[in-house]
Amino acid sequence: MKKPVFAMLLGGVLGVFDGLTALISAPQEAPNIVGIVIGSTFKGVIAGLIIGLVAQRTQSMAVGVGVGVAVGAVLAYLVTIGGPYLWEIVLPGSVVGLIVGIATMKYQGAPAARA
């Protein structure tokens, strides 16, 4: 499995948990949790794609993790525009980017097949 695919899968899975944090940080949004989880999952997949593409091009852990945190924070911030929950959305999004960045940079992929 290539790094972008790995990062997208991991970002999607972690995006589910990112969305579920809304039940803790904003319990009044419980009726909207399905939409929040779907949106967070999509956000995690997009962040994973970007992080995975960067991870393919560089071997620097610092660059990969920095891009992960930045992409997670920016995508989460875009969700908050016009909304009241800035930090409740940006912090978990940044943590997802951090985890995906670290895991993707450490991921070595499947060994090459012999001919």
pLDDT digits (tens, 9 = 90+) for 45-76: 999 999 999 999 999 999 999 999 999 999 99
**Domain span at 53:** 3-106
Per residue in 10-36, pLDDT (tens digit) is 999 999 999 999 999 989 989 999 999
Give how many domains the chain has, as a whole number. 1
Structural domain includes residue 111: no
How far are the Cα atoms of 61, 68, 82, 96 from residue 3, in angstroms, in the given order? 14, 13, 34, 16
- Nearest-10 Cα torsion for 78, 13, 45, 72: 40
Whole-model pTM over 0.75: yes
Residue 114 falls inside a structural domain? no
- Residue 63, domain member (yes or no): yes
